[in-house]
Amino acid sequence: MVLLSLTASHRELDLDALERLSTGSSSVGRVVVGTCGPVAGAVVISTCNRFELYLDVDAPLSGDSVKHATRHVAELVAHASGVTGDVAARSFTVRTGPEVTEHLFAVASGLDAMVVGEREIAGQVKRSLAIAREQETTSKTLELLFQTASRTSKRVGTDTELGAAGRSVVALALDLAESELPPWDGTRAVLIGTGSYAGASVAALRARGCEDIGVYSQSGRAEAFAESHGVRSVDSLVEALADADIVVSCSGARGRVLAARADGEPAQPGPAGSDEAALGAMVAGNFGGQTTLPRGLSGEVGPEASLGHVLDAAAVVRARERAADRAGDEPEPRPLVILDLALHRDVDPRVADVEGVLLYDLATLKAHAPAVAHDVVAQAQGIVDTAARRFEETRLGREADAAVIALLDEAEVRVVAEVDAAVARLTDELALRGEPAPEESDVDVIARDVRKRVHAELHDKIVAVRARATAEARAAEAALVQGAVALTKKASTQRDADHRSSR
């Protein structure tokens, strides 16, 4: 088994490019596992500032085959997102072997986050594994990898000041908005969406003293969320905006749901077999083996139609007009602060042009993300490095298990032969003296002594075989890493060239 990851985040791409790339991310894991025989498992992490695929490949990979595999997965991502295959391939950073482990552990611990030390990512990593289980795309190796990443994240959270800082995208957004708002105990807040960020937003708002919180959801889950979180549900978004001081939008609905579903109509599939044929053509010759699209995925892997924005400029204008009417003789209504925390923007960017409205999106938050003390980061990184090294030692140790088992099998054959010979000699000696054959207890003593001696002699051989097998596995993975590094450098150079040409 070889670990392979393709990652794209706020560090390599601007958020607009990342948004385009991750459209259709919900189906990519199933498609990769279903169409590529040697891929034993896949887990996809898709958040507001990263899109990452982790693959467990049951085949030996050379530098060339890493390039081939990357191109194959990039084509699948391109098919789901609507970008070209070349753009998708250039967007990813490719990692193999120990670099996969080191990166995931750093991500889960918040060290690679837009707001260094944020804790939401730990939950997102857990949910990614849970989704892979539901979709039946995970594997034994990926299960162990992601569970160890979560344990490492927990240790960073409990053993370092990084975990005690309470950092998060939500907290940063509220900090930026605070100067434009009335005192928190008099602030009226509206949440758009009922996902994990909505729950985190409720907690963050209450921690600051805000208790007037409403929630709106296009999916109809507002009432259930409101009941479970002790807030009120909102039926009319425009009416709620007219009374609100701050809006936190984190539904992420746009770009994930087919427009037909938003209208209450079932999505219409394309021509029969069209997706299967397109994907089959991509896969043919890449890895060999089965290339049939998994049952039930037909029509899910094509470019996903985007919804309109959850909150558009016209709705905000109507809300501000109602706010002005309610303000009466006051010179102007209070300003409205809107925080758009969705990667696939919930809020139309033109909302920023509406008078009396301040719009903060992820790009704004990235520009204002605070730095973290070097020694705190170093301590957390040390925990991550140690955990990654131990995981790799355990994983590579399994590569040597086959050689060790072969030695033990040979030793057992030797034990049986030597015990049989010793018993035969003892039987002959006893017969010469006219005594009965050895009893079962005598045979057990002989077998125990022989096995102890043979295994003692075997110890040094086992150590040597394990060391040699581990060294060979490390050398093979080092070659893979070099190939992945070269591929990543090429993609990075091309991204830089594309960025310069677009200016």
Q: Are strands 212-216 and 50-57 parallel, antiparallel or unpaired?
A: unpaired
Q: Are strands 93-96 and 2-9 parallel, antiparallel or unpaired?
A: antiparallel
Assess contact for 200 and 170: CB atoms under 8 A.
yes
Please give the sequence-ordered ranges of beta strands (E in DSSP) within 35-187, or none if there are none: 39-46, 50-57, 93-96
**Alpha helices by DSSP H, 284-373:** 313-327, 362-367
501, two tokens: 């040409």
C-alpha distance from residue 495 to each of 63, 184, 388 (Å): 21, 43, 29
Assess contact for 362 and 252: CB atoms under 8 A.
no
Is 48 marked active-site? yes
H or E segment to which residue 209 belongs: none
d(CA 67, CA 185): 56
**Residue 495 CA to chain centroid, in angstroms?**
23
From the candidates 36, 48, 210, 250, give the one annotated as an active-site residue. 48
User: Which 3-state string (H, E, C) describes 87-119?
Assistant: HHHHHCEEEECHHHHHHHHHHHCCCCCCCCCCC
CB atoms within 10 A of CB 60: 10
Assess contact for 380 and 107: CB atoms under 8 A.
no
Taking the alpha carbons of 38, 66, 111, 27 in that order, is the dihedral positive or negative?
A: negative
> Of 239, 235, 242, whose CA–CA distance to 218 is shortest?
235
223, two tokens: 């009432």
Please give the sequence-ordered ranges of beta strands (E in DSSP) within 144-256, or none if there are none: 188-192, 212-216, 232-233, 246-249
d(CA 300, CA 311): 26
Taking the alpha carbons of 97, 76, 114, 189 in that order, is the dihedral positive or negative?
A: negative
Q: What are the residue numbers of the active site?
A: 48
